[in-house]
Amino acid sequence: MIEAPTSIRIDSESRIPKYQQIVNSIIEDIEKGSLSVGEKIPSINEISEEYYLSRDTVEKAYNLLKKKKIIVSVKGKGYYVARNVSQSQVKVLFLLNKLSNYKLRIYNSFVNSLGADAQVDLHIYHCDPKNLLNLLNENTGAYDYYVVMPHFKDDDLHHNNYNQDVIDALRKISPDKLIIMDNYMPDLGDEVASIYQDFKMDIYKALKEGQARLQKYDTLILVYPDNVIYPYPKEIKQGFKKFCVEYGLEFEIINTIYPEMELSPNDAYILIEENDLVNLMRQIRDEEYLLGEDVGVISYNDTPLKELLGITVMSTDFKVMGETAAYMIKKRKKEVVKNVFNFIDRGSI
């Protein structure tokens, strides 16, 4: 006899295939707490002998449970419960390219908007397409929805929007189950839901909105980090150059804010990284320049601290991005939406 906290319920009169009845029985036992994560379940042979089922039938059930990541097999030991399940919950795999304050704000907004009826599993793939491919392959068929932020880096730590292997892997996921966030992937077509930033035109339009204030400066300086672990989209530089050329403004692109910068009055800086913003603000203070009068500062991506300090920003709305993705899941929408991007003048230019 089987000595385990599960009881397979087989109805020989039912039209439900017996392998599916095994699957349903084990899931129900996990749901009601009879089986816990890490607990061993009966072997294929035990189920087969106890319930007079063919070994192939039981093996098919267990393979389906493994594919859904509900159970896991340990060589030489048997099968174990891998995770909690709830038939009523929507299961979402959320794949972030990096762990940053901004990305977590999107994730938190997404989770809060979905509510308690959803189980969201977060994984970070560190802008490495191989890591992303492994996560997609390992979780094939295990989730109701796959939310992916596709940002990649090459061997030279340059940002890439495109990776053919990732495109091929994403095409294997039903368009009804896939949501692309933050970066548009036109190769997937408009049948896949997408909430994205247009990095080139967003910065161009934001600078255009602040053009009247920026005209008083002699030079605009974009501080764009190169060769960083998590590279930034090159389209940011393209949008910056487009604005400066069209409006006849002198400009320079530098990698970072160096110690003891050659600060000059009538320069305006556009900064992406927080460390560069802090270092520049310290040097402006030490040189006793007036922010927004002698030296201008615009920061990329808003935070509560920048609002408190009165720093002018241009930023996508992270909360709206998360809410929009959650709305598409809840309403089963498949739309391609450019996310809100704002220029917020707080007087630092």
> Domain with 74 in it: what CATH number?
1.10.10.10
pLDDT of residue 3: 46
Same domain, 250 and 106: no
Same domain, 144 and 187: yes
Same domain, 312 and 210: yes
Let me know if residue 136 belongs to a domain. Answer: yes
Overall pTM > 0.95 = no
Let me know if residue 58 belongs to a domain. Answer: yes
Let me know if residue 10 belongs to a domain. Answer: no
Q: Are strands 219-223 and 250-254 parallel, antiparallel or unpaired?
A: parallel
pLDDT of residue 88: 59
pLDDT of residue 139: 85
Let me know if residue 96 belongs to a domain. Answer: yes
As beta bridge partners, residue 178 has: 146
Query: Between vectors from CA 108 to CA 35 and to CA 232, what angle results, nearest 5°?
Result: 120
Let me know if residue 349 belongs to a domain. Answer: no
pLDDT of residue 28: 86
The per-residue pLDDT for range 72-122, each reduced to its tens digit, is 999 889 999 987 766 557 899 999 999 999 999 999 999 999 998 898 999
18-31 helix and 55-67 helix, angle to the nearest 10 degrees: 50
Residue finishing a domain among 42, 64, 81: 81
Residue finishing a domain among 81, 106, 124: 81
Residues 267 and 295: beta-carbon distance below 8 Å? yes
The count of other CB atoms within 10 Å of the CB of residue 340 is 15
Same domain, 96 and 164: yes
Same domain, 101 and 74: no
The count of other CB atoms within 10 Å of the CB of residue 207 is 24
In sequence order, what are the residues at sequence separation of 6 or more whose Cβ sits closer than 8 angstroms to the Cβ of residue 259?
A: 279
pLDDT of residue 157: 82
Same domain, 233 and 173: no
Closest to 147 measured CA to CA, from 190, 189, 193, 210: 193
Residue finishing a domain among 81, 107, 127: 81
Let me know if residue 11 belongs to a domain. Answer: no
Let me know if residue 38 belongs to a domain. Answer: yes
pLDDT of residue 137: 87
CA atoms within 13 A on the CB side of 31: 11
Dihedral sign for Cα 164, 169, 175, 176, please. Answer: negative
> Domain with 333 in it: what CATH number?
3.40.50.2300
pLDDT of residue 67: 85
Same domain, 72 and 206: no
Low-confidence ranges of the chain (pLDDT < 50): 1-4
Let me know if residue 12 belongs to a domain. Answer: no
Same domain, 39 and 137: no
Q: Look at the chain and count its residues.
A: 349
Q: Which tokens belong to 77?
A: 């030991």
Same domain, 190 and 206: no
How many structural domains are present in the chain?
A: 3
Same domain, 128 and 158: yes
Same domain, 323 and 190: yes
Residue span of the structural domain in which 310 resides: 200-316
Same domain, 229 and 263: yes
